[in-house]
Each structure stands twice: as C-alpha cells, then as structure tokens.
Structure 1
C-alpha cells in the first residue's frame, strides 16, 4: 500500500486543529494534533493519537495533558507546535490546573491519562476530562494539508 496515497486519502477528511500540551519538568511542552475525538460523556473521555517516533510520545507518557482546540486566528500556533518555528509568535499560557493551556484557544479540555493503547506506528492516549472551557470563536480547520477556518462553512 502506498503510504503517501493513503495519507492523501485521509486528507479528504477535514479536521479541527489542536495542540496537546503538558508540563515537562515545570516547562510547557506541546504537539500539534488533528487526531482527536470525543469518546464518552460518562465518564468524560477524549482520545488523541501520537506517532511513536515523535518526541512528544515519550514526553507525554504518563502525564496529564490539555487538548487546546485552536481558534481560527491561531494558525501560527499550530505550525509552531508542528515543528515549523514561528519567529514572531508570543504564546500566552495559563499554567493553572494539572496541565498548561494556550490562552486564546476556542476551547480546551484538561485531562488525566486514563488508558493508553498501542495502534501500529501510533499510540492512542485516552484522557479523562477533569476541566473544560470554551468560548464563542471560530475554530481552525485542516483539510488536504491546508489550514482554514470554520467561518467558511
């Protein structure tokens, strides 16, 4: 199976854009993730998928994390945590609670790790949602390798 073609096929599904964040020795760390889904309301659970080859995989293992659902004006934040350094970016953090949050996000979910599942070249982390917040803002979307906004819907 051609992996590039499969990736292009997956790209036909538009997703939201999140940055998953955690504390690593009192510093904020994060990774851009679009493999995120709600799992359950009772108990409140959410799932993220992380590539085993990503530095974030070992850094995130066993830690509480926040899923920051990015607002449409946070494309630079998405690229920063996807490994494309954004020189002019100024992040505004909320370090309260069990994991850091990125201020200005459309929403965030603060999670304690609940379960971890092996999934081929990825690991599925299921988090139990302990706190959440959302505001009236358009979300950033990802479709066929491009960032966009829910404003266009």
Structure 2
C-alpha cells in the first residue's frame, strides 16, 4: 500500500509540538534561521539535542559546520515563526551571541546554544545532533503547533503536577502525581 504524503503529514501533525527557530551565521551579512517543530532532547551526558532540517532549507547546509542556536518561541511570536518558515514579514531583533557564537532571537522563551556533534540522513531531511554549550531560560508561555495551526496555552490552562524522582540518583520510577489517586 502506498502512503499518501499529504495524509501522512496530516496524521503526524496531530502530535502537538513546541515551535523553534534554528539560527546560525550565514555566508552573507545576515544570520539565517528556519522554523522547526521537529526538535527533541537526546542526552544529558553529553548534553545533546536533535533538530530535523529540510534538505532544501538554506540553514540545513550551514549548521553542519558552524554553531547554531535553537530558539524556543514564545506564544506571541507566531509572526516570527512564519517569517522563518518562508514568509518574511518583519525585521528581526537578534542577540549577537546565543552562547556558542551563533546568533539568537530576542524574546524567545529559551535559547539552546549548540556546536555540531553528528548528523544523519533522514530522507528528505537531515537529522542534526548538537552538543549544548550554553542555554538561557526566560519566563512566558510557549507557542505550540498542532494539526497545521499555531496554538498557545492561554491563561486558563491547569498544569499537572510533575514527579521528577526518576531524575534522582536512586532512579525511582516516574509516575505523574496526577495519576496517583
């Protein structure tokens, strides 16, 4: 059975994600960036993250050989996400150094500064592992992506308690406190 790429994309879009922009120095004067929702933490030792970049994007060939920053976007940065997704719509406020020598976006919820660690073939994408050199966290609410649309948590969201005992040296089993009733 052949898989319809449009229907597969629609199906995969039901996994809600945060929205990031991967930025790095370009070959010209301006830094470059690409909106990415395929981003994940990989390892704490060494500290690694993974981003999946479309082979056709300008950033794809650049991050293989130079530092890059993963900018986690804030709920009010929808237009910035669109800007780096191929619909330029604004002037961009840059932070000259996100921590590894790569530029970062002003106003993001988090900046994760990386140096290239490894890359792997991912079909029409390339999977880049970056070793984290520095990071910054800022207050705010995340910009989310689900079913082809941007979303935000809003003021009425009710977060579930988190039991982080799995991160303890004893290695206890993680069970969300909200499920223990």
- Same fold, judged at TM 0.5 (above): yes
RMSD: 1.3
Give the C-alpha shift of residue 54 in structure 1.
2.1
After TM superposition, list the pairs within 5 Å mapping 1:8-23 onto structure 2: 8-23=10-25
TM-score scaled by length of structure 1: 0.93
Which whole-Å CA distance do the structure 2 matches of 1:91 and 1:121 have between them? 28
Whose Rg is larger?
Answer: 2
Contact persistence 2:113–2:132 (CA under 8 A): yes
Q: Which string of whole-angstrom CA distances, capped at 9 and with x for unpartnered residues, describes residues 13-62 of structure 1?
A: 01000000001135311000000000011111000001112222223321
Write 1 or 2 for the structure with the bigger share of strand: 1
TM-score scaled by length of structure 2: 0.80
Within the candidate set 76, 80, 84, 1:81 is matched to 84
SS of 1:61 mapped into structure 2:
coil
- Which 5+ residue runs of structure 2 have no aligned equivalent? 158-181
Q: RCO greater where, 1 or 2, for CA within 8 Å and sep 6 or more?
A: 1
Within the candidate set 100, 123, 126, 2:126 is matched to 123
Q: Displaced runs of 4+ in structure 1, greater than 4 A?
A: none
SS of 1:56 mapped into structure 2:
helix
How many residue pairs match? The answer is 151
